[in-house]
A and B are shown apart, each in its own frame.
Chain A
């Protein structure tokens, strides 16, 4: 399999569709076969995420302590079962410290297209229900929405609602950051409302291979097996440069095809930069070991006396004091006479993907005459563990928020009475266009993941989990009516206002 530029991943490309048909045809014809789906076919046949119906019940003491939480979550699955209800049920209450918790998930088979993975699959809908209920409960006990969540937030050592005990986590810090964010104190005008909500995603590690080859000119070629869906080549080049102590411009990362590396899991579960940076660090450290051996050989001293500092071999010990340092470039240039090409490899299972939390703030204006909404301001606060490439991390935060806002406000599959999809195209399936959204502010928190050498956590999916609820809480606060159905399209808001 030759990897090609994929654009966005978002989970929908982690499934096998009609490719086997092309393979069979190719075998039969002895010629290459190209398979193209029209936009209409993509809408009809590639599968949306689940439609859901969710009931949530949460009990709290008058002092704001949650004592029990219960949710029943129903996920539509098209004609086949999957694992959609499971991730919804597991993530629903993951942000909170709960002594008594129960989640029941149902997969509902319907005569609709097969469902497919979509960025943090099943978590946004669960968060929509739970975070809406949390907001209502905070109001009922007379507490500020942020303070109520801070009081009940899970922390290090909390047994999560889905089983494992948390290590260091970011839910508390993101809430504290939101509490202190200028956005929370900004004044609101008429018909405007503010909402906030939290979200969680597990993240994944998986099987990963990296080859790091050092050229004769001292440049680095990094072959990676996780297809780049969000800037991971740049991030991994930064990581290799950091480990080797050389300039970023001397590293070039490529996505290798399946016959060039060992097995790699696909790019899903926000694992691209997390898992491949782990393998890159390991490969770079293996290369450094060889570089030290070669330097020791060139100097004719014991390898134990060679350290690697700032991209150079350094001879340690009083007896080697006068030896000038050997930069990587010189060791590479001499490699033909010291034992051949120098490389580092790594094949590993990237265990210990750190869970990730985010808290979002949203300001919305609602036109009470038409039900139309305008997102005035939006802020994402999320724990990245360690932001290797901060602008790409910011891009993931903004992209998730934008997709979530579209989902919350206008995106909808419209079926006719004949059960057929009526809006199989981007004219009537309304994702937001640029002018629909404000600049999305971001704040990156870094609570290191102890299982990664740099503390990296996956960042790609968590950002789509809170927006449905954050937008719903904002709209509900703006109009004074609890919005229980998404998308909150103009007709639906108008109907809620007049109900």
Chain B
């Protein structure tokens, strides 16, 4: 096994494109090293991207945010501007594993690991995040939900690396949130999860909505019907009930050690809490920690 730590993205892409055996990219290693230790994979080449300066930063521009592929999730939580703009995205990233794991793991790694239960992906999907992909034939930008195509499988072509995640500037009267259900309060994996992004008009009526469910299908599920139910509403109890039904109907979960189909369908989509008491059925044991909707 070879371990290489290139200092430029071009070098990394070159190495990846020329690799003959199994090549893996190492950022935080919270998936790769665990899989290697467990004997599930044995790469011939490991390309550590942490020394590539361009991948190690969060940049804010007039267009929004660019989050480098090697930025640890804990650093997302330290970025006040990002936290203000995309609290749901940051929340999802900060729920992965434990504090120690968050110091290493990355949202790009979480995306490319392609687990249906990935905590940071539903919020990225709901937020309309894009992945900037670089490869031997140039670069392309795709919606993040296009990256995982099934458990453990991505649409990345040979030699391609995700350079960064792109998030737009948040629009006025908009907010996002992520919630998950786990039997434990932390250090756990979502049995089901949900993320939502909303834009309201001046009268408090929903103009735009995006709802994404995690661990409810082989990949993160965008529930168009749920968004349609929300748009034009004031998010009253009746709307929430129809929203929950739409999500239950749309999800295609499996039976596994973390939950049954029946249980997963029953756990209804969460809702970012305002002053009312909406039916937040995905449990929030941290007293509003997950409730990150605000409409400044």
Stretch in A126-134, A143-151, A251-259, A431-439 with 4+ CB within 8 Å of B: A431-439
Interface membership of chain A positions 417-448, coded 1 if the CB is closer than 8 angstroms to chain B and 0 otherwise: 00000110001101011011000000000000
A494 contacts partner chain B, Cβ-Cβ < 8 Å: yes
Contacting pair B183 A427 (CB below 8 A): no
Contact A374 B282 (CB under 8 A): no
Within 8 A of B (CB), among A352-381: 367, 369-370, 372, 374
Q: Does B285 contact A (CB under 8 A)?
A: yes
**When chains A and B are docked, how far (Å) is the Cα of A83 from the Cα of B268?**
46
The reply on A414 being an interface residue by CB < 8 A is: yes
A491-B263 in contact (CB<8A): yes
**In the complex, A410→B257 CA distance in Å?**
12
Whether B183 and A372, one on each chain, are in contact in the complex, defined by CB atoms closer than 8 angstroms, is: yes
Q: Is the interface of B mostly helix, strand, loop or mixed?
A: loop
A19 within 8 A of B: no
Q: Are B259 and A491 closer than 8 Å at their CB atoms?
A: yes
| Pairwise interchain contact B283-A370, C-beta atoms closer than 8 A | yes
Alpha-carbon distance A491/B258, docked complex (angstroms):
10
For chain B residues 241-272, which have a beta carbon within 8 Å of chain A?
A: 256-260, 262-263, 266-268
Question: In the complex the two chains form, what is the Cα distance from A489 to B181 in whole Å?
Answer: 13
Residues of A within 8 A of B267 (CB): 370
Please give the distance in Å from B267's CB to the nearest CB on chain A: 6
Kindly state the separation between the CA atoms of A80 and B271 in the bound complex, as whole angstroms.
Answer: 51
Report yes or no: A430 in contact with B184, Cβ–Cβ below 8 A. Answer: yes
Whether A427 touches B266, Cβ cut-off 8 Å, given contacts A367-B283, A370-B181, A370-B282, is no
Q: Cβ of B188 and Cβ of A369 under 8 Å apart? A: no
A428 to B256, CA, bound (A): 11
A105 interfacial by beta-carbon distance below 8 Å: no
Interface string of B175-200 (1 = CB under 8 A from A): 00000010111111101000000000
The answer to whether B181 touches A427, judged by C-beta atoms less than 8 angstroms apart, is no
Q: Which residues of B contact A304 (CB under 8 A)?
A: none
Q: Which residues from chain B contact A372 at a C-beta distance below 8 Å?
A: 181, 183, 283, 285
Tell me, in angstroms, the Cα distance from A436 to B185 when the chains sit together.
Answer: 6
B273 at the interface (CB under 8 A from A): no
A40 adjacent to chain B (CB < 8 Å):
yes
Q: Which residues of A contact B256 (CB under 8 A)?
A: 422
Q: How large is the interface on A (under 10, 10 to 19, 20 to 34, 35 or more residues)?
A: 20 to 34
Which residues of chain A are near B279, meaning CB under 8 Å? 369
| Residues of chain A contacted by B186 (CB below 8 angstroms) | 433, 435
Is B233 an interface position by the 8 A CB rule?
no
Question: In this complex, what residue of B is CB-closest to A433?
Answer: B187
Query: Which B residues lie within 8 Å of A409 (CB)?
Result: 183
| Cβ-neighbour of B184 out of A369, A423, A433 (below 8 A) | A433
B207 contacts the other chain (CB 8 A): no
Check: A395 CB closer than 8 A to any chain B CB: no
Question: Counting chain B CB atoms within 10 Å of each CB, which of A40, A414, A433 scores highest?
Answer: A433
CA distance A184 to B263 in the complex (A): 34
Q: Per a CB cutoff under 8 Å, which of A367, A423, A428, A491 touches B260?
A: A491
Expressed in whole angstroms, the Cα–Cα distance for A53 and B279 within the complex equals 38
Smallest beta-carbon distance A169→chain B, Å: 37
Q: Total interface residues on B, using CB and 8 Å? A: 25
> Is there a chain A Cβ closer than 8 Å to B38's Cβ?
yes
Evaluate contact between A422 and B185: CB separation under 8 angstroms: no
CB-defined contacts of A369 to chain B, threshold 8 Å: 268, 279, 281
B188 to chain A, nearest CB (A): 7
Check if A341 is an interface residue, CB within 8 A of chain B.
Answer: no
B183, B188, B263, B281: which has the most chain A beta carbons within 10 Å? B183
Q: Are B181 and A422 in contact (CB under 8 A)?
A: no
Give A90 to B158 CA distance when docked, in angstroms: 65
Q: Is the CB of A422 within 8 A of B257?
A: yes
| A490 interface residue (CB < 8 Å to B) | yes
Nearest Cβ on chain B to A475's Cβ, whole angstroms = 14
Proximity bits, A220-264, B CB within 8 Å = 1, else 0: 000000000000000000000000000000000000000000000
What residues of B have a CB within 8 angstroms of the CB of A491 in the complex?
Answer: 259-260, 262-263
Report how far A410 CA is from B188 CA in the complex, Å.
Answer: 12
A367 to B266, CA, bound (A): 13
Once A369-B268, A372-B183 are accepted as A-B contacts, the answer to whether A430 and B188 lie under 8 Å apart by CB is yes
Distance A494 CA – B260 CA, assembled complex (angstroms)? 12
**Residues in chain A near residue B268, CB distance under 8 A:** 369
Instruction: Closest B residue to A428 by CB, please name it.
Output: B257
What's the nearest-Cβ distance from chain A to residue B107, in Å? Answer: 20
Give the distance in Å from the alpha carbon of A342 to the alpha carbon of B256 in the complex: 65
Question: In whole angstroms, how far apart are the Cα atoms of A367 and B285 in the complex?
Answer: 10
Q: Which of A40, A367, A494 contacts B263 (CB 8 A)?
A: A494
Greatest chain A CB density within 10 A among B256, B257, B258, B268 is at B257
On chain B, the residues within 8 Å of A370 by CB distance are 181, 266-267, 281-283
Distance between A365 CB and nearest chain B CB, rounded to angstroms: 10
Q: Are B263 and A427 in contact, CB atoms less than 8 angstroms apart?
A: no
- Complex Cα distance A374/B279, Å? 18
Interchain CB contact under 8 A, B38 and A40 = yes
Please provide the chain B residues from 218 to 260 with a CB less than 8 Å away from any CB of chain A in the complex: 256-260
Which B residue sits closest to A435, measured CB to CB? Answer: B185
Q: How far is the CA of A100 from the CA of B274 in the complex (A)?
A: 60
The 0/1 profile, CB within 8 Å of A marked 1, for residues 59-100 of chain B is 000000000000000000000000000000000000000000
What is the CB-to-nearest-CB distance from A403 to chain B, in angstroms, rounded to a whole number? Answer: 15
Interface residues of A in 380-428 (CB under 8 A from B): 409-410, 414, 422-423, 427-428
Most chain B CB within 10 A, of A370, A432, A433, A489, is at A370
| Chain B residue nearest to A374 in the complex (CB) | B285
Contact with A along B273-288 (1 / 0, CB 8 A): 0000001011101000
Whether A410 pairs with B285 at a CB distance below 8 angstroms is no
Flag if A428 contacts B185 (CB, 8 Å): no
Residues of B within 8 A of A490 (CB): 181, 183, 191, 263
With the chains together, A494 CA to B265 CA distance in Å? 12
| Given A369-B281, A422-B257, A494-B263, residue A430 in contact with residue B185 (CB < 8 A) | no
Chain B residues with Cβ below 8 Å from A430 are 183-184, 188
Scan residues 15-37 of chain B and give those whose CB is less than 8 A from a CB of chain A. none
For B283, the chain A residues whose CB sits under 8 A away are 367, 370, 372
Interface 1/0 per residue, A176-213 and B, CB below 8 Å: 00000000000000000000000000000000000000
Per-position 1/0 for A52-93, Cβ under 8 A of B:
000000000000000000000000000000000000000000
Alpha-carbon distance between A491 and B283 when the two chains are bound, in angstroms: 13
25 example contacts (A-B, Cβ-Cβ < 8 A) are as follows A40-B38, A369-B268, A369-B281, A370-B181, A370-B281, A372-B183, A372-B283, A410-B183, A410-B184, A422-B256, A423-B257, A427-B188, A428-B189, A428-B258, A430-B183, A430-B188, A433-B184, A433-B185, A435-B186, A489-B183, A490-B191, A491-B259, A491-B262, A491-B263, A494-B266
Having A370-B267, A428-B258, one finds 17 other A-B pairs with CB under 8 Å, namely A369-B281, A370-B282, A372-B283, A410-B183, A410-B184, A414-B257, A422-B257, A423-B257, A430-B183, A433-B186, A435-B186, A435-B285, A436-B184, A489-B183, A490-B263, A491-B263, A494-B266
Q: Which 3 A-B pairs have the closest CB atoms?
A: A491-B263, A435-B185, A369-B281
